[in-house]
């Protein structure tokens, strides 16, 4: 790994990637990369490939998708991130797929489905004489199953649900996530047809088709349906849209089947029972010094592309597939998805604005080079190893060119691996140049993008006061005396207008076999008209789909810009009055898992017994954090007012939230229930006076460890959710909230 591995990268690796014995990390980052390189090189006869694979990962020039890093060379050996499963229109088919979904998610994969084959609500069920409940009801069933699955111990369940726009239940589907507590483990997208878009533009009706009978069941005004999609996307970012006919126009194996769905983030259209292995090149590493400036090292980029294509093709053979039918389909088409990350970093280094003709043209040029070089590498592999088995009848056969892989390129979100590589995510602009985060005890730290800091120092502009001002918004656009040339280059996601987001996506899509993962970020004040314009522009410019997100549009989004302190709530007079807190208390901190993330509970005692409870989960101000803090404050107030600790335990124990989990054989029903369990255990070990057993002066060791842990986060310089694991800043990326600090991801 690079010498300057960031603190956040180390935290991400230790939490999710490095091998452990129990809870102890027994693998270094270098060990991990050696493990992966050695495992993937087993396909090769020449041992030099292990060194080539190790080198591009060790230099952070390329990283494969997370399951490969986590599992290659280990017992699980499940290396794919994305799967698409078919859902047949029968009770047996629906629940057979649900069983297969559980097996895939258990192994660490994400799943995409089209529910379009299912008969609509109130349609006839001849076997029972009843009526069908429709696709959305079964989405709820799949959602509940995902809630119960912890993926591979390291990855959380994620699904994509897709319904054709001509399905009779389409209006119900579009609105199925109006309640943010519903279908929480799904991203949803409407599969848009060419016929529908033509009807929208002409303000005409279009037909709804019963998938069971293939007969029309009625008509809807296309523009009204389109407006409903726009309205719901404006409200909470969903549904997204995919242009299904366009996707199938580029289907490399139409003789095998029609593409119906994508993976959870939408960038990988797949046939039923197909999987794909993804990896990304770090473009930030493809710049080299030339004189006083920077240029792209095209020679090195070509070498990394060739090595990466070979690496990903080997992954197909080394993978241990969760289902035999997935192995058969994956071997038959051998799809890989090589993409990029660090694009925004590269632009800044080259002095090119993201939101400019030059920036868009450079993105197009880079991706054309990667695609052309990648196809050449796949063709060479075909000469060496043979073309993919479904080559006959494919679009490649028509060109006369042998190909090892049916597809070669995909632009995927890279939230976690870009943290490891220390670069910007995918082809997204930077989310913030600097931001403020909270640590424990309400301390605030300002984190600065390394490139931004380097530029400030090079230009003699750096000062703590300037950085603090930038951290208020994450951007420099509001600074009056800041150099205009730097303002043009140092743009963030909300500085870029939606039109430039789409134009950049379209530029990369032009030379990408599969699809492009990209979030079009809107400010909070954006209108429905703005959303509509972007959807229409995405269709016009040749995108295969589009995901939008308007800041502040989802419930639970609590991080805000700036340094405004929360209002201090004064305790009202109460009788009996709580005793005064002494200057020094003694106690201990216990870590316990909850459905909202890891909760740290501190129980302290004074000379009269247990006197206070403190909790930390995520970031101060988050919903889970606020809820648990409120519970702890009230418990502390009761304890210092003379209420028996066992009474507090009884009041909190058994409270249930929607996401109970199991930890070490014991169910944790909610954050209050977790506090009760810790308090109950403390009473058993120390008594109500808290004096039995060993005690420590000052802060408990566990709390001291948390205080000193780098990467435990707080505020962000742009609106977003608080990470339930580390409290860090989360940004929307292809429909998934992804933590910029620890890489935690929660789709929708």
**Annotated catalytic sites, by residue?**
263, 265, 267
- Alpha-carbon distance of 94 to 117, in angstroms, equals 10
- Alpha-carbon distance of 187 to 266, in angstroms, equals 9
Q: How many CB atoms lie within 10 A of CB 334?
A: 27
Q: How many CB atoms lie within 10 A of CB 71?
A: 24
Q: How many CB atoms lie within 10 A of CB 626?
A: 17
- Alpha-carbon distance of 288 to 298, in angstroms, equals 10
Q: How many CB atoms lie within 10 A of CB 609?
A: 18
Closest CA to 430 of 438, 418, 412: 418
Q: How far is CA 133 from the centre of its chain?
A: 31
User: What DSSP line would sit under 494-542, residue for residue?
Assistant: TTS-HHHHHHHHHHHHTT-SS-B--EEEE-TT--HHHHHHHHHHHHHHT
- Alpha-carbon distance of 625 to 552, in angstroms, equals 18
Three-state SS string over 23-70 comes to CEECCCHHHHHHHHHHHHHHHCCCCHHHHHHHHHHHCCCEEECHHHHH
Closest CA to 211 of 159, 260, 270: 260
- Buried residues in 112-129 as b, exposed as e (16+ CB within 10 A): bbbbbbbbbeebeeeeee
Provide the pairing of β-strand 261-262 with 586-594.
unpaired
Three-state SS string over 308-375 comes to HHHHHHHHHHHCCCCCHHHHHHHHHHCCEEEEEECHHHHHHHHCCCCCCHHHHHHHHHHHHHHHHHHH
Provide the pairing of β-strand 159-164 with 110-114.
parallel
CA atoms within 13 A on the CB side of 547: 23
Longest dimension (CA), the chain: 87
Instruction: Return the C-alpha torsion angle 413, 416, 422, 424, nearest 10.
Output: 30
- Alpha-carbon distance of 350 to 288, in angstroms, equals 10
Cis peptide before 239 (omega within 30 of 0): yes
Q: How far is CA 689 from the centre of its chain?
A: 45
- Alpha-carbon distance of 654 to 239, in angstroms, equals 36
- Backbone CA torsion sign across 605, 606, 611, 615: negative
How many residues are listed for the chain in this entry?
A: 748
CA end-to-end distance (rounded Å), the chain:
32
Whose structure tokens read 């002095």? 351
Long-range contacts of 180-184 (CB under 8 A, 24+ apart): 180/236, 180/554, 180/555, 180/556, 181/658, 182/140, 183/139, 183/140, 183/143, 183/748, 184/143, 184/147, 184/748
- Alpha-carbon distance of 54 to 474, in angstroms, equals 36
Whose structure tokens read 């028996």? 644
Q: How many CB atoms lie within 10 A of CB 210?
A: 16
């Amino acid at each position: 790994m690079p010498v300057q591995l960031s603190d956040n990268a180390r935290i991400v690796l230790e939490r999710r990637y490095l091998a452990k014995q129990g809870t102890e990390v027994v693998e270094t980052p270098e060990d991990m990369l050696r493990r992966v390189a050695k495992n993937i090189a087993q396909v090769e006869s020449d041992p030099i490939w292990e060194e080539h694979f190790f080198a591009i990962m060790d230099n952070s020039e390329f990283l494969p998708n997370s399951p490969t890093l986590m599992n290659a060379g280990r017992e699980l050996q499940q290396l794919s991130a994305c799967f698409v499963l078919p859902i047949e229109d029968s009770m047996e088919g629906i629940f057979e797929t649900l069983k297969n979904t559980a097996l895939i998610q258990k192994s660490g994969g994400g799943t995409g489905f089209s529910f379009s084959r299912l008969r609509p609500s109130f349609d006839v069920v001849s076997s029972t004489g009843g009526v069908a409940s429709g696709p959305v009801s079964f989405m709820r069933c799949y959602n509940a199953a995902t809630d119960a699955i912890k993926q591979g111990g390291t990855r959380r369940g994620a699904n994509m649900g897709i319904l054709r726009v001509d399905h009779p239940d389409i209006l119900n589907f579009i609105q199925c996530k109006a309640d943010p507590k519903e279908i929480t483990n799904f991203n949803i997208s409407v599969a848009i047809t060419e016929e529908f878009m033509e009807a929208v533009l002409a303000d005409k009706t279009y037909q709804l088709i019963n998938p069971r009978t293939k007969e029309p069941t009625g008509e809807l005004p296309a523009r009204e349906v389109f407006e409903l999609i726009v309205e719901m996307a404006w409200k909470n970012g969903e549904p997204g849209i995919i242009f299904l006919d366009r996707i199938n126009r580029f289907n490399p194996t139409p003789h095998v089947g029609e593409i119906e769905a994508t993976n959870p983030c939408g960038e990988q259209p797949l046939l039923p029972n197909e999987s794909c292995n993804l990896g990304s090149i770090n473009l930030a590493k493809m710049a080299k010094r030339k004189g006083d400036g920077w240029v792209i090292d095209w020679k090195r980029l070509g070498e990394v592309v060739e090595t990466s294509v070979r690496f990903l093709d080997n992954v197909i053979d080394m993978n241990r597939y969760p289902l035999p039918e997935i192995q058969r389909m994956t071997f038959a088409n051998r799809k890989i998805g090589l993409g990029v990350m660090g694009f925004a970093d590269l632009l800044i280094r080259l002095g090119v604005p993201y939101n400019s003709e030059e920036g868009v043209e450079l993105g197009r040029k880079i991706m054309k080079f990667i695609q052309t070089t990648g196809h050449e590498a796949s063709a060479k592999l075909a000469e060496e190893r043979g073309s993919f088995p479904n080559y006959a009848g494919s679009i490649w056969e028509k060109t006369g060119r042998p190909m090892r892989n049916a597809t070669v390129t995909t632009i995927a979100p890279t939230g976690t691996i870009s943290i490891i590589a220390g670069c910007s995510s995918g082809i997204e602009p930077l989310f913030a140049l600097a931001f403020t985060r909270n640590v424990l005890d309400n301390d605030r730290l300002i984190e600065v993008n390394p490139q931004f800091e380097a530029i400030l120092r090079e230009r003699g502009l750096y000062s703590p006061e300037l950085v603090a001002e930038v951290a208020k918004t994450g951007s420099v656009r509001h600074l009056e005396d800041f150099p205009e040339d730097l303002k043009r280059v140092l743009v963030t996601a909300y500085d870029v207008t939606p039109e430039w987001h789409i134009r950049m996506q379209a530029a990369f899509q032009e030379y990408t076999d599969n699809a492009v993962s990209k979030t079009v970020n809107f400010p909070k004040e954006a209108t429905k008209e703005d959303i509509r314009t972007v959807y229409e522009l995405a269709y016009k410019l040749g995108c295969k789909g589009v995901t939008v997100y308007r800041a502040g549009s989802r419930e639970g989004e609590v991080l805000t810009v700036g340094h405004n302190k929360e209002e201090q709530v004064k305790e009202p007079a109460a009788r009996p009055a709580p005793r005064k807190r002494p200057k020094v208390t003694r106690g201990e901190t216990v870590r316990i898992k909850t459905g909202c993330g890891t909760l740290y509970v501190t129980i302290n005692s004074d000379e009269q017994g247990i006197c206070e409870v403190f909790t930390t989960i995520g970031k101060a101000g988050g919903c889970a954090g606020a809820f648990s803090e409120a519970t702890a404050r009230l418990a502390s107030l009761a304890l210092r007012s003379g209420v028996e600790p066992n009474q507090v335990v009884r009041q909190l124990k058994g409270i249930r939230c929607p996401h109970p989990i199991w930890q070490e054989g014991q169910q944790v029903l909610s954050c209050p229930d977790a506090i009760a369990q810790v308090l109950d255990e403390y009473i058993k070990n120390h008594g109500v006076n808290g004096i039995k057993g060993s005690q420590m002066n000052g802060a408990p060791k566990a709390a001291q460890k948390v205080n000193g842990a780098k990467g435990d986060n707080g505020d962000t310089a742009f609106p977003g959710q608080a990470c339930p694991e580390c409290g860090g800043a989360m940004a929307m990326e292809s429909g998934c909230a992804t933590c910029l600090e620890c890489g935690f991801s929660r789709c929708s």
